[in-house]
A and B are shown apart, each in its own frame.
Chain A
Amino acid sequence: MPARRLSIVLAEDSLLLREGLASILDRAGHEVRDAVGDADTLLAVVRKEPPDLVITDVRMPPGHSDEGLRAAAAIRAELPGIGILVLSQYVADAYLSSLLESTTGGIGYLLKDRVGHVTEFLASLDRVADGGTVVDPEVVRQLLARRRDDGPLAALTPRELEVLALMAEGRVNSSIAEQLVVSEAAVRKHVGNIFAKLHLDDGRDRRVSAVLTYLRG
C-alpha cells in the first residue's frame, strides 16, 4: 500500500491508455475518482470536487494541441492545492515555462513511457502530491545541452553534472544517493559544491525550482 491513498482525476483521450493508467493506480491502492477523455470534462469534475492529484495528457480533444496544459494552468490558478502531473507522448523544455509559472504546489511533467516503470512512476506521483516538482530526465537533458557552453556549468565535474541532472528531475538527496550508489553525505557534498559553483542559494525547499530556473537561463 502507498504511503497515502490519493484521490486522483485522470484525463487521457485514449481509452487504452486511460484504462492502463487506471489499473496501475488502482493496483497501487490509489483511488481513481474520475477518468475523463477531454479537458472540459476534466475542469468540470475537478471544480465540482477537488481531488488530491490530477493526471492529464497534453494533447486532447477537441483541438488535439495543448488542451491538457491549458487545463492544468487553469486548475493551478483556481485550486493551487491540487498536485498536477502532466503526461505527454513527447516532451520538450519549451513547454516548461507554462508549467512552472507558479512556484507553489506540486507539478510534474513526464513522458508517458515513464509510467511503465511503475515503482518510479508511483514515487513521482507521491512527490507531486506532496508539493514537489518532477521533471522528465529527457527535458533535463535538453536543458543541460542548452547550457553546455555556459562558463559555470563547464566548471562542474562529471559526477556533479549527474547530481545536478537528478536534482533538476526533482529528486531528493536519498533518491539521488540510491541512483548513483553513493552515500547521502556524498550527495550533500556534491550539492553544496554545485550551488557554490553556480552561485545559487541552497534554499532547501525550493532547490528544484532554483536549479530549473538557472538551467532555463
Chain B
Amino acid sequence: MNTAWAALTSRRYLVSSWPWRSYAYLLSSVPAGAATICVLIGAAAVSALLSPILVGVLLLTAFPLLGVLIGIMERYRARLMMPAGISTPHAQVPQSTGLRERLRFRRREQASVRALGYGFLFGVFLWPLNALFAGVSLAVLAITLVAPFIADDDEIGMGPWTLTTFWEGLLFLVLFGPIWYTVSSYLLGWLAAGQAELAKVMLGPREDELRRNLADLRRSRLDLVDAFETERARIERHLHDGVQQRLVGLTMTLGLAELDLPEGEGRRLVVKAHGEAEAALADLREAVRGIHPRVLIDHGLEAAVREVADRSPMPVTVRMELPRRLPPPIEAAAYFVVSEALGNVAKHAQASRCEVDGWIVDDQLVVTIADDGIGGADPTGGTGLTGLVTRLDALGGTLDLTSPPGGPTRLRMETPCRLDD
C-alpha cells in the first residue's frame, strides 16, 4: 500500500498500520502546530516592537525564511502519511554562493511564501482541529478499553449508558469498542490523508518547479561529466609533458651510453636498463590511453574504436557509420563503453570473435558490442560498467546487457547525439 488514499479503500485498512499512522500524524501536529504559531506570533511581536527603528520592518521581510523552516518540518512529518515523501520545491543554489546570497534567494522564492501561508493555516486552524478530533477519539478508545475495570469499582457514564458492573463494562467494550474503532479510524484516516494532501500541494513543487529541478539536476550532472573530462585531460597532459618526456630523455641517454661502452658487463647492464626504461614508457602509454586517448580527440570515435579493437587478443570486426564528429563527452562515453566491453569479452567470454557496430538513428548514437562467447555476464559484477552507466545517465543515455547463460552476449548503448536539454 503506497498511499493513504489507497489504504482507505482497502478492505484490510482496519488491520493495517494506517489508522495508527493517521493518529501519529494528527497528534504530532499538535506540538508542531503549537510551536509554529508561537514562533510566528513571537516573530511578529518582535518585529512590531522593533518597527520604530526600521529593523522590525526588515525583520518582516525575512518571514518567508520561517516558511522555509516550516516546510522542512512539515515535509518531514508528512512522510508518516506518504512514505515516498514530498520533494522540495526550492531551486538548487550553487555551492559557491555565500550564506547572505543564499538567504536572499530563498526569501524571494515563491515556494517560501507558500510555505509561510501553510504555516499560518497550520498554526491557527489545523492543529487545534486535530487535537480535538484525535484527542477525543483516542480518549474514548482508551476509556472503552479499560471500561470493565473502572465499572467494577465504580460506575461510569458512557453517553446515554451507565455501566455499573465488570460484565456491563465488558459488554460495552465488546459491542461499542469495534464500532468506535471503525468509525474513528475512517474519520481520522480521511482527516489525516486530507491534511497530508494539503501539505503536498502547498509544500511540494509546482509543475514548473519540478521541471526546473529536473533541468537543474541534468545540468549539474553534465557539469560533473565535463569536470571529469577536463580533469582527465589535465592528467594526461601532465603525464605527457612530465614523466613521459623524462623517460624518453632517459632512453636517449642510455642509447648514447651503449654506443660508447665497450662490450662487457657494464654495457650489458646499460642495455638492460634501456629495455626497462622502454617497458616503463610502454606501460605509461597504456595508462594514458585509458585516461584520455589521443586518437579519440584527434580522429574521433571510429578511429579510436578501431585502435582498441586492434589491441584485442581476438578478432574484432568494427562497422561504424558516423557521418560526423560528436561532442567530446559523448565520444568519450562511447569509447570507454567499447573499451571496457572488449576488455570484458577478452577476460570472461571465451569468445572466438566479436563485433562492434555503431550508427546514428533519430539523433541517437547506438553502439552494440556482440560476441559469440559463453554468456552469463553479470551487469552488476564489475565496477567498470557501473561507472559507465552513471556517465551515460548524465548524458541521457542507456546501456543494456543481454547475456543468457550459454551466450551470446550483446551490449547495447544508446545516447542522444546532442548535449543540450
The interface stretch among B249-257, B319-327, B370-378, B397-405 is B249-257
A98-136 contact mask (Cβ, 8 Å, vs B): 1 or 0: 000000000000001101111101000000000000000
Contact A90 B317 (CB under 8 A): no
The interface stretch among B76-84, B297-305, B356-364, B384-392 is B297-305
Contact B315 A146 (CB under 8 A): no
A113 to B253, CA, bound (A): 11
Q: How large is the interface on B (under 10, 10 to 19, 20 to 34, 35 or more residues)?
A: 35 or more
Q: A14-B241, A89-B244, A94-B298 are in contact. Are A23 and B249 (CB under 8 A)?
A: no
Contact A92 B251 (CB under 8 A): no
A20 to B250, CA, bound (A): 9
Contact B278 A14 (CB under 8 A): no
Q: A90-B285, A94-B307, A149-B315 are in contact. Are A112 and B297 (CB under 8 A)?
A: no
Per a CB cutoff under 8 Å, which of A115, A121, A145 touches B248? A115
Contact B307 A116 (CB under 8 A): no
Which of A16, A17, A89, A116 has the most C-beta atoms of chain B within 10 angstroms of its own C-beta?
A: A116
A94 to B306, CA, bound (A): 9
- A21 within 8 A of partner (CB): yes
CB distance from B59 to the nearest CB of A (A): 57
B236-261 contact mask (Cβ, 8 Å, vs A): 1 or 0: 01001100111011011111101100
Please name 29 pairs of A and B residues whose Cβ atoms are closer than 8 Å in the assembled complex, sorted by A: A14-B241, A17-B245, A17-B249, A17-B252, A20-B248, A20-B252, A21-B252, A23-B256, A27-B256, A89-B245, A92-B303, A94-B298, A95-B298, A112-B248, A113-B248, A113-B251, A113-B281, A113-B282, A115-B248, A115-B251, A115-B255, A116-B252, A116-B274, A116-B277, A121-B255, A142-B307, A145-B310, A148-B315, A149-B317
A21 to B299, CA, bound (A): 28
Could you say which residues of chain B place their CB within 8 Å of the CB of A59? 240
Per a CB cutoff under 8 Å, which of B245, B306, B307, B310 touches A16? B245
Could you say which residues of chain B place their CB within 8 Å of the CB of A117? 255
- B272 within 8 A of partner (CB): no
Other than the known A90-B289, A95-B298, what 10 A-B pairs have Cβ atoms closer than 8 Å? A16-B246, A17-B245, A24-B255, A89-B248, A92-B294, A94-B306, A113-B251, A113-B282, A121-B255, A142-B307
Could you say which residues of chain B place their CB within 8 Å of the CB of A213? none
Q: A64-B237, A118-B258 are in contact. Are A94 and B248 (CB under 8 A)?
A: no
- Which B residues form the contact surface with A (CB < 8 A)? 237, 240-241, 244-246, 248-249, 251-256, 258-259, 274, 277-278, 281-282, 285, 288-289, 294-295, 297-299, 303-304, 306-307, 310-311, 315, 317
Which of A90, A117, A121 has the most C-beta atoms of chain B within 10 angstroms of its own C-beta?
A: A90
A142 to B255, CA, bound (A): 26
Name the residue of chain A whose CB is nearest to the CB of B252: A20
- A183 within 8 A of partner (CB): no
Contact B288 A146 (CB under 8 A): no
Q: A65-B298, A113-B248, A115-B251 are in contact. Are A94 and B303 (CB under 8 A)?
A: yes
A119 to B274, CA, bound (A): 14
Name the residue of chain A whose CB is nearest to the CB of B310: A145
Could you say which residues of chain A place their CB within 8 Å of the CB of B252? 17, 20-21, 24, 115-116
- A66 within 8 A of partner (CB): yes
Q: A14-B245, A16-B249, A21-B252 are in contact. Are A92 and B278 (CB under 8 A)?
A: no
CB distance from B17 to the nearest CB of A (A): 64
Name the residue of chain A whose CB is nearest to the CB of B282: A113
Which of A90, A93, A113 has the most C-beta atoms of chain B within 10 angstroms of its own C-beta?
A: A113
Could you say which residues of chain A place their CB within 8 Å of the CB of B255? 24, 115-118, 121
Name the residue of chain A whose CB is nearest to the CB of B245: A14
A21 to B259, CA, bound (A): 15
Which of B237, B246, B306 has the most C-beta atoms of chain A within 10 angstroms of its own C-beta?
A: B306
A118 to B299, CA, bound (A): 31
Contact A142 B298 (CB under 8 A): no
CB distance from B290 to the nearest CB of A (A): 13
A186-200 contact mask (Cβ, 8 Å, vs B): 1 or 0: 000000000000000
CB distance from B338 to the nearest CB of A (A): 15
A95 to B255, CA, bound (A): 27
CB distance from A76 to the nearest CB of B (A): 19
Could you say which residues of chain A place their CB within 8 Å of the CB of B306? 94, 146
Could you say which residues of chain B place their CB within 8 Å of the CB of A24? 252, 255-256
Contact B256 A118 (CB under 8 A): yes
Could you say which residues of chain B place their CB within 8 Å of the CB of A94? 295, 298-299, 303-304, 306-307
Per a CB cutoff under 8 Å, which of B258, B289, B298, B315 touches A66? B298
Contact B278 A113 (CB under 8 A): yes
Could you say which residues of chain A place their CB within 8 Å of the CB of B295? 92, 94-95
Near B by CB (< 8 A), chain A positions 61-92 give 64-66, 89-90, 92
